[in-house]
């Protein structure tokens, strides 16, 4: 006990006196959260579209007005088709709407009138939105301008509701998930270098000639970094709730517990990398490649796991961030949903235990 | 002078190449990541599970349910008996959406009154929910057209013809793979340079370089050139991979690709060297590159468009080379963009390159202490 | 297990994976209780490997070890209870203060609170670190770090203390104090194993274990070994004082000589057994040293002439002072690393900067090379101010860095190509030069090997050849012989001597006192100042008696300290 206390104290001293630790634990997450909050926007609420009206009838100008007045579209008028195409090439606009000159004639003749919408497929994210917005506006215009030809109302009225996030505010979704990714980064980056640093500096060699056991060494490292990780997480939640106004509907206590499990698995991963790597250079590369990038891509934060090919879905089961993302998003947006917490927590605990076992096995008590 | 530079360049190449660890680190991870993430990163939502609460249970309501059952996007459809079970399925995220059909559904349809159907989407999966809503509209539109179509014969119809240029099928995979080619080029470029000076300082061989007749300017060139070449080779490899293995068509000019890649990598190498020169240890250098890479990736336009960011952030991205490189690479692959468009995007990268390389040079000079 | 033996080793072999040589080769020895045992040998001899094997940090490939009656392979944790170990990097936590380090180790060894208080008091007094208890370990000087390392190792009153190179790079006063402390401990019955590469420390040990390339050369009392050479050691002197030429001639002939080395103004020779005269030189009998005996065991020093000077041609010039330093100062914040350093080096001189680590000699040295910018003062190389003509000045320098900073991941050939290239050689000239170096230094069989896998002696040669590629008139050598075995050291200095004969000026830094004997003039560095400058004889004469360099240094330092702080004299 005394030994563990002494080791924990030592680790805290080292941690607090090293400026880069504070940088990683608090400043880096803050910067990243700001970037996620302000720079990332998955709503795509505005799209730049170019409009060329070839039909000069008065009625058609009101269609142009509809495009103009909607907040979802940044409209640009074009007289020349060539210039419009060039701008689409350049990426200035993401879609073109062309109203041919026989449009109103065709409508009056009760023929099928055509409007051309061309999207920039290379911006695959926005292309869908372009097509949808354009169609929706045209429908609306038709309904209002040709009252006596109003399309009969649909037989089925669909009432849609979005539970937990009524306005589909993408930040409510991104930030809790971003916490998961950022914590992965912090947790693994902090710990991946710690053990290999002691080997490189020679202090580990000295430790293993005293009375310490493997458990002492490991607990002496787990405890301080766990505390630091929790502090970092609390700071992150503070930023999300207070600074960025993301609602928190669950219980903070449960969040703390789930975070604890998550952190344990992360610390385990980091320390395992640190134990196996011979030096800091290799440790940091491994942390980046095996720890962080998979968390970013395969945790379900940005890309839905269910849409991934089966082998990759299988891979994502080994990433603890995946389990935490689910819990985190729920705690923020929904509340306490035990059906989700319990299985996810079990997985995280399992991973923590497995990592600990491996670390224990590989912690050397000799130099051979 | 050129001989000295040439000698240094050869040495740098040897250093990177001879160490088997650094060899694998350079070639293997990008290819692996390209494969995994290209397949993983898809916004096409598929394999959706949904729950249906059909309180009507008539031919008409089952007809509607079948639309979802037979749709390619949906995987498993769960049927429940009451609201409580319905809510539970969505709450526990067993399904991503649900449809509730009331008892008076078929009665209203037959009586020419509007029948209501309630769709519930899981807002926690915010990005997916919006897309699901779109799918649902499409299914309902088709349902309307098929079942109630004859009534529309007399009305004017406006057909919106939608075509997708450059990526006709909106293949998300192509978009991701090409974007990844750009991203991974950045990762490799920075990796190679940021550690070079820091490591030599730690080991002591940097002193040897300084004590020699090599001028700081020559050292800069010597350290810039090899990573540039290697990163370009890897970019080429990944490009070839994308074209021949992933079968993504490439429509632009090859020359433009290499010119812009070179300028891009120069700016990245400049950033890497700059970070390397202000860091005393390898650990700091690794941290530094990381703190650059993460925000750079997030603000590159890959995940969300630049034009939707707040103005301040948009202006910041001027110094983010990957933002411009992304536009160029996507443009060259998909749009066959002409030289002037490429040039417009190359200039900011070149400016960043000049600034960072100069800063690195200045720090080399100062930091001989 | 013998009653009074602390360690017994039989038929010990140790081989590391991926290497073909044995790190420890057929060792059989004993360590007796209560004695101070010196483990002596150059870098790579196997000292650290042996110590680590004794306490169980490494496992033997074959053979057996018994430590304190226990088996290190199976009973390592019990052994841990009774030993104190100080590893090479001292095992200190640089981010913790002195008292925090002590506390940590005390807790790790299970001391009670009461024991802690009394131990700390004793140790802090013993090591004179009491006033530094709140200073971060990383801010201590080299000597203080070593004392702190020793203090931590002593916690828990171990019966067996193992110190891995505790005196390396430390100033001679601290080294002496360390040795005094250790002797006191031995009187209390503690067994101490002290490893070192310095042969001159041997006389302080009760027993010494001499290792070379993993093999045991000798185990026993150093005095006994030294005595065996009592009538074979002599001094010879050249009438005109040209001792280097004398040495060269002696070695050229080589018959009947076991060893010949410069000692101040004389040449010390060791004759082969049974030989009583050498040519027609007048032999004055000399006291044998431990080092002489070691050379004898190793088979004698390398003989013959240095090929190097025969084949290298240097541009001649007429400058009198080749290196000049005027009032060089280097400040880091408030801390003066070098205070007001002024000296001049003549053409063809070997000038030494002597002093412990942290004294400022490396900093002065680096300022002259242009590696560090002086805070004030000026330096001239070949008459050129280094601040104005840095690149040109550097082309006159050949630089051999500490620990031979070569590009370890590159092959020998690639290193040679690189250094010749950046010093302006290319094409046919470059090829010729490289071939010449390969022949002179016998690199043939090592051309494709990675530089960091070379044996230490070859690393040194490679570093020297890279420094000489462009025939520089000035050579800067930074701790060129640290850690090498005495034979390699002699070989190296023979090369240097022959270069100097051809007019090359050499500037060398070292913390190895005896190496000062090879220099024409020395500057003694202590705490940032060059406290004395002169020829070795002049410095020794200042102290008065016929003494070793180390004794002279200690006396001069003490004199300096007294001058600097007369009001502290009573402390």
Last-in-domain residue among B152, B184, B218: B152
Of B125, B140, B304, the CB nearest to A41: B304
Parallel, antiparallel, or unpaired for β C191-196 and C36-40?
Answer: parallel
* Inter-chain touch B156–A107, beta carbons under 8 Å: yes
In whole angstroms, how far apart are CA C196 and each of B35, C38, C42, C165? Answer: 55, 7, 8, 5
Indicate whether B177 and B136 sit together in one domain.
no
Q: Which DSSP letter does residue B351 get?
A: H
Mutate which: B171, B307, B337, B344, vs A, most A CBs within 10 A:
B307
Residue B9 lies in a domain: no
pLDDT of C569 reads 44
pLDDT of A356 reads 92
Whether B18 and chain A come into contact, CB under 8 Å, resolves to no
Residue B41 lies in a domain: no
Residue C505 lies in a domain: no
How many helices (H) and strands (E) chain B has is answered by 14, 5
Answer for the pair A248, A175: CB distance below 8 angstroms, yes or no: no
Whether C160 and chain A come into contact, CB under 8 Å, resolves to no
Mutate which: A158, A184, A291, A325, vs B, most B CBs within 10 A:
A158
Which residue has tokens 């100042």? C529
Of C401, C405, C422, the CB nearest to B214: C422
pLDDT of A42 reads 66
How far is the C-alpha of A229 from the C-alpha of A226, rounded, in Å? 5
Parallel, antiparallel, or unpaired for β C397-400 and C474-478?
Answer: parallel
According to DSSP, the residues that pair with C521 across neighbouring strands are C351
Chains that touch B (3 or more CB pairs under 8 A): A, C
How far is the C-alpha of B88 from the C-alpha of B348, rounded, in Å? 53
pLDDT of C566 reads 61
pLDDT of B157 reads 64
| Domains of chain A by residue range | 2-40+169-362, 47-149
Mutate which: C97, C104, C105, C193, vs A, most A CBs within 10 A:
C104
How far is the C-alpha of C318 from the C-alpha of A108, rounded, in Å? 107
The residues, any chain, with a CB within 8 Å of residue A88's CB and separated by 6 or more, are A50, A94, A95, A96, A118, A120, B165
Closest CA to A97 of A139, A38, A133, A50: A50
Which range is least confidently modeled, B83-92, B102-111, B158-167?
A: B158-167
Distance separating the N- and C-terminal Cα atoms of chain C:
48
User: For chain C, what is the domain count?
Assistant: 3
Answer for the pair C491, C524: CB distance below 8 angstroms, yes or no: no
- How buried is A217 (Cβ within 10 angstroms: 0-12 exposed, 13-18 middle, 19+ buried)? buried
**Confidence grade of residue C36 (pLDDT, cut at 50, 70, 90):** very high
Task: Give one DSSP letter per residue of C490-520, joined into a string.
Answer: HHHHHHHHHHHHTT-EEEEEES-GGGGGG-S
Across C76-98, average pLDDT: 89
Show the tokens assigned to C39.
Answer: 């483990």
On the CB side of A115, how many CA atoms lie within 13 Å of its CA? 26
Residue B30 lies in a domain: no
Closest Cα in chain B, distance from residue A157 (Å): 5
Answer for the pair A55, A103: CB distance below 8 angstroms, yes or no: yes
Across C220-239, average pLDDT: 87
Indicate whether C151 and C292 sit together in one domain.
no
Mutate which: A205, A209, A221, A363, vs C, most C CBs within 10 A:
A209
Domain A47-149 top-level CATH class: alpha beta
Indicate whether B146 and B175 sit together in one domain.
no
Task: Print the domain residue range for C384.
Answer: 317-396+510-565
Q: Which residues from chain C sit within 8 angstroms of residue A367, using beta carbons?
A: 52, 57-58
Of B109, B165, B286, the CB nearest to A155: B109
* Stronger pLDDT, C66 or A145, i.e. the higher one: C66
Across B106-120, average pLDDT: 84
Chains that touch C (3 or more CB pairs under 8 A): A, B
Give me chain B's average pLDDT, please: 83
Indicate whether C141 and C16 sit together in one domain.
yes
Please name the residue ranges forming H helices in chain A. 2-17, 19-22, 28-34, 58-69, 81-90, 103-108, 124-145, 170-192, 194-201, 203-207, 214-238, 252-276, 280-286, 293-298, 310-316, 320-333, 338-362
**Is 50 exceeded by the pLDDT of residue A198?**
yes
Highest mean predicted confidence (pLDDT) among B116-130, B193-207, C186-200: C186-200
Across A16-29, average pLDDT: 85
Answer for the pair B23, B17: CB distance below 8 angstroms, yes or no: yes
Helix C98-108 with C113-127: angle, nearest 10 deg: 130
pLDDT of A44 reads 55
How far is the C-alpha of C162 from the C-alpha of C85, rounded, in Å? 5
* Inter-chain touch B11–C418, beta carbons under 8 Å: yes
Which A residues, 271 through 310, put their C-beta within 8 Å of a C-beta on chain B?
280-282, 284-285, 288-289, 293, 297-298, 302-304, 306-309
Last-in-domain residue among B152, B186, B210: B152
Indicate whether C111 and C23 sit together in one domain.
yes
Please name the residue ranges forming H helices in B92-171. 105-110, 126-148
Indicate whether C382 and C233 sit together in one domain.
no
Indicate whether C256 and C214 sit together in one domain.
no
Residue C300 lies in a domain: yes
Residue B66 is part of a domain; what is its CATH number? 3.40.1710.10
How far is the C-alpha of A8 from the C-alpha of A21, rounded, in Å? 16
**Confidence grade of residue C571 (pLDDT, cut at 50, 70, 90):** very low
Of C395, C405, C423, the CB nearest to B207: C405
Neighbours of C77 (CB within 10 A): 16
Of A114, A284, A308, the CB nearest to B42: A308
* Inter-chain touch C414–B7, beta carbons under 8 Å: no
Predicted confidence (pLDDT) per residue in C188-209, tens digit? 889 999 998 888 888 889 999 9
Whether A210 and chain C come into contact, CB under 8 Å, resolves to yes
* Inter-chain touch B18–C394, beta carbons under 8 Å: no
Whether C72 and chain A come into contact, CB under 8 Å, resolves to no
* Stronger pLDDT, C413 or A291, i.e. the higher one: C413
Closest Cα in chain C, distance from residue A31 (Å): 28
Indicate whether B335 and B196 sit together in one domain.
yes
User: For chain B, what is the domain count?
Assistant: 2
Indicate whether B205 and B253 sit together in one domain.
yes
As a three-state string, the secondary structure of A110-167 is CCCEEEEEEEECCCHHHHHHHHHHHHHHHHHHHHHHCHHHCCCCCCEEEEEEEECCCC
Mutate which: A203, A206, A221, A363, vs C, most C CBs within 10 A:
A206
Whether A243 and chain B come into contact, CB under 8 Å, resolves to no
The residue length of chain A stands at: 368
Q: Which residues from chain A sit within 8 angstroms of residue B308, using beta carbons?
A: 41, 43-46
Residue B288 lies in a domain: yes
Which B residues, 22 through 51, put their C-beta within 8 Å of a C-beta on chain A?
25, 29, 33, 36-37, 39-49
Indicate whether C170 and C50 sit together in one domain.
yes
Residue B32 lies in a domain: no
pLDDT of A148 reads 52
Which residue has tokens 């930030």? A175
Residue C50 lies in a domain: yes
Highest mean predicted confidence (pLDDT) among A173-187, C151-165, C280-294: C151-165
Secondary structure element (H or E) that encloses residue B358, with its range: helix B339-366
Of B124, B140, B330, the CB nearest to A122: B330
Residue C344 is part of a domain; what is its CATH number? 3.40.50.300
Closest CA to C280 of C236, C241, C247: C236
Predicted confidence (pLDDT) per residue in B305-330, tens digit? 787 788 888 888 888 999 999 888 88
- Nearest residue in B to C375, CA atom: B369
Closest CA to B73 of A300, A307, A126, A128: A307
* Inter-chain touch B64–A126, beta carbons under 8 Å: no
Q: What is the dihedral of CA C113, C116, C118, C122, to 10 degrees?
A: -170
Task: Print the domain residue range for B338.
Answer: 168-366
Give me chain C's average pLDDT, please: 85
How far is the C-alpha of B25 from the C-alpha of A202, rounded, in Å? 27
Q: Which residues from chain C sit within 8 angstroms of residue B19, using beta carbons?
A: 409
């Amino acid at each position: 006990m005394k030994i563990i206390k002494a080791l924990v104290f030592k680790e805290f001293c080292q941690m607090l006196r090293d400026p880069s630790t504070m940088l990683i634990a608090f400043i880096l997450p803050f910067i990243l959260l700001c970037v996620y909050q302000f720079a990332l926007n998955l709503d795509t609420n505005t799209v730049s579209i170019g409009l060329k009206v070839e039909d000069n009838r008065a009625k058609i100008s009101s269609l142009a007005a509809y495009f103009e007045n909607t907040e979802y579209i940044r409209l640009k008028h074009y007289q020349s088709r060539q210039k419009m195409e060039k701008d689409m090439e350049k990426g200035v606009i993401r879609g073109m709407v062309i109203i041919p000159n026989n449009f109103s004639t065709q409508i009056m003749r009760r023929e099928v009138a055509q409007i051309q919408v061309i999207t920039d497929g290379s911006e695959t994210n926005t292309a869908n939105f372009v097509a949808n917005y354009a169609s929706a506006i045209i429908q609306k215009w038709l309904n209002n301008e040709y009252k006596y030809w109003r399309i009969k109302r649909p037989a089925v009225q669909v009432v849609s509701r979005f539970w937990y996030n009524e306005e589909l505010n993408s930040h409510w979704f991104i930030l809790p998930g971003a916490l998961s990714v950022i914590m992965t980064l912090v947790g693994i980056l902090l710990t991946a270098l710690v053990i290999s640093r002691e080997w490189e500096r020679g202090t580990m060699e000295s430790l293993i000639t005293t009375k310490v056991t493997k458990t002492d060494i490991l607990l002496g490292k787990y405890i301080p970094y766990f505390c630091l990780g929790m502090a970092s997480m609390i700071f992150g939640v503070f930023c999300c709730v207070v600074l960025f106004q993301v609602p928190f509907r669950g219980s903070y206590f449960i969040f703390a517990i789930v975070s604890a499990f998550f952190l344990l698995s992360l610390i385990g991963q980091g320390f395992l990398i640190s134990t196996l790597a011979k030096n800091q250079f290799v440790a940091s590369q491994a942390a980046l490649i095996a720890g962080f990038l998979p968390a970013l891509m395969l945790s379900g934060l940005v890309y839905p796991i269910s849409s991934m090919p089966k082998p990759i879905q299988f891979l994502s089961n080994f990433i603890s961030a995946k389990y935490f993302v689910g819990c985190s998003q729920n705690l923020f947006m929904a509340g306490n949903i035990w059906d989700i917490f319990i299985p996810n927590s079990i997985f995280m605990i399992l991973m923590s235990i497995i990592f600990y076992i491996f670390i224990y096995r590989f912690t050397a008590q000799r130099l051979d | 002078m050129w001989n000295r530079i040439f000698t240094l360049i050869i040495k740098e190449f040897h250093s990177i190449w001879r160490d088997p660890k650094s060899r694998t680190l350079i070639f293997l991870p990008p290819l692996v990541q390209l494969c995994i993430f290209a397949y993983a990163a898809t916004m096409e939502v598929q394999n959706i599970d949904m729950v249906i609460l059909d309180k009507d249970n008539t031919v008409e309501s089952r007809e509607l349910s079948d639309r979802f059952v037979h749709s390619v996007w949906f995987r498993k459809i769960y049927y429940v008996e009451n609201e409580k079970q319905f809510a539970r399925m969505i709450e526990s995220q067993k399904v991503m959406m649900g449809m509730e059909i009331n008892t008076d559904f078929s009665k209203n349809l037959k009586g020419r009154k509007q029948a209501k159907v309630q769709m519930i989407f899981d807002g926690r999966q915010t990005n997916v929910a919006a897309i699901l809503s779109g799918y649902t509209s499409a299914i309902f539109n088709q349902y309307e057209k098929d079942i109630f179509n004859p009534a529309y014969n007399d009305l004017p119809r406006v057909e919106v013809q939608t075509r997708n240029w450059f990526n006709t099928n909106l293949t998300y995979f192509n978009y991701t793979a090409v974007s990844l080619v750009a991203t991974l080029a950045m990762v490799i470029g920075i990796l190679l340079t940021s550690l070079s000076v820091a490591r030599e300082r730690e080991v002591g061989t940097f002193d040897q370089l300084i004590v020699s007749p090599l001028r700081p300017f020559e050292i800069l060139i010597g350290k810039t050139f090899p990573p540039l070449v290697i990163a370009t080779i890897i970019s080429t490899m990944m490009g070839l991979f994308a074209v021949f293995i992933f079968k993504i068509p490439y429509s632009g000019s090859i020359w433009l690709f290499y010119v812009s890649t070179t300028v891009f990598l120069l700016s990245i190498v400049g950033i890497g060297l700059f970070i390397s020169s202000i860091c005393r240890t390898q650990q700091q250098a690794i941290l530094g590159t990381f703190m650059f890479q993460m925000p750079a990736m997030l603000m590159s336009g890959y995940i969300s468009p630049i034009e939707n960011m707040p103005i301040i952030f948009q202006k910041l991205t001027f110094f983010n080379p990957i933002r411009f490189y992304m536009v160029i690479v996507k443009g060259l692959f998909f749009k066959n963009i002409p030289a002037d468009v490429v040039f417009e995007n190359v200039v900011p990268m070149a400016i960043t390159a000049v600034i960072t390389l100069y800063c690195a040079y200045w720090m080399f000079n100062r930091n001989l202490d | 297990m013998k009653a009074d033996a602390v360690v017994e080793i039989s038929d010990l072999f140790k081989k590391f994976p991926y290497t073909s040589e044995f790190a420890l080769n057929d060792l059989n020895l004993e360590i007796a209780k209560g004695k101070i045992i010196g483990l002596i040998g150059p870098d790579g001899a196997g000292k650290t490997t042996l110590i680590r094997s004794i306490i169980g940090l490494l496992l033997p490939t074959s053979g057996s070890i018994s430590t304190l009656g226990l088996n290190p392979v199976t009973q390592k944790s019990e052994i841990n209870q009774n030993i104190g170990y100080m590893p090479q990097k001292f095992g200190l936590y640089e981010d913790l203060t002195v008292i925090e380090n002590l506390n940590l180790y005390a807790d790790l060894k299970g001391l009670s609170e009461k024991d802690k208080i009394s131990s700390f008091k004793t140790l802090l007094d013993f090591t004179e670190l009491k006033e530094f208890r709140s200073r971060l370990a990383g801010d201590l000087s080299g000597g203080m770090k070593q004392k702190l390392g020793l203090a931590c190792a002593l916690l828990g009153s171990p019966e067996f203390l193992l110190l891995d190179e505790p005196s390396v790079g430390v100033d001679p006063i601290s080294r002496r104090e360390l040795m005094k402390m250790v002797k006191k401990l031995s009187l209390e019955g503690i067994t101490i194993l002290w490893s070192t590469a310095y042969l001159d420390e041997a006389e302080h040990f009760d027993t010494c274990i001499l290792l070379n390339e993993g093999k045991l050369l000798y185990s026993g009392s150093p005095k006994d070994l030294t005595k065996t050479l009592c009538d074979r050691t002599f001094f010879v002197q050249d009438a005109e004082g040209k001792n280097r030429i004398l040495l060269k001639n002696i070695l050229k002939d080589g018959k009947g000589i076991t060893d010949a080395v410069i000692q101040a103004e004389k040449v010390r020779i060791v004759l082969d057994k049974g030989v009583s005269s050498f040519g027609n030189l007048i032999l004055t009998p000399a006291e044998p040293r431990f080092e002489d005996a070691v050379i004898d065991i190793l088979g004698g020093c390398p003989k013959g002439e240095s090929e190097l000077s025969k084949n290298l041609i240097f541009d001649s010039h007429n400058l009198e002072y080749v290196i000049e330093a005027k009032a060089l100062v280097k400040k880091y914040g408030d801390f003066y690393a070098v205070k007001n350093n002024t000296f001049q080096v003549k053409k063809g001189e070997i000038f030494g900067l002597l002093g412990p680590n942290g004294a400022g000699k490396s900093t002065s040295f680096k300022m002259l090379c242009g590696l560090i910018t002086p805070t004030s003062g000026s330096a001239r190389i070949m008459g050129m101010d280094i601040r104005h003509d840095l690149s040109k000045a550097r082309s006159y320098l050949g630089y051999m860095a500490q620990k031979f900073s070569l590009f370890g991941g590159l092959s020998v050939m690639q290193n040679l190509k690189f250094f010749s290239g950046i010093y302006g050689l290319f094409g046919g000239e470059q090829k010729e030069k490289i071939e010449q170096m390969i022949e002179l230094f016998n690199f043939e069989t090592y051309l494709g090997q990675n530089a960091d896998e070379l044996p230490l002696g070859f690393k040194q040669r490679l570093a020297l050849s890279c420094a000489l590629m462009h025939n520089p008139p000035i050579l800067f050598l930074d701790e060129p012989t640290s850690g090498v075995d005495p034979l390699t050291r002699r070989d190296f200095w023979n090369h240097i001597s022959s270069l100097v004969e051809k007019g090359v000026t050499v500037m060398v830094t070292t913390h190895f006192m005896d190496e000062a004997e090879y220099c024409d003039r020395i500057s003694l560095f202590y705490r940032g100042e060059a406290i004395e400058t002169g020829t070795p004889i002049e410095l020794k004469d200042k102290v008065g008696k016929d003494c070793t360099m180390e004794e002279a240094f200690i006396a001069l330092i003490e004199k300096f300290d007294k001058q600097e702080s007369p009001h502290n004299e009573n402390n």
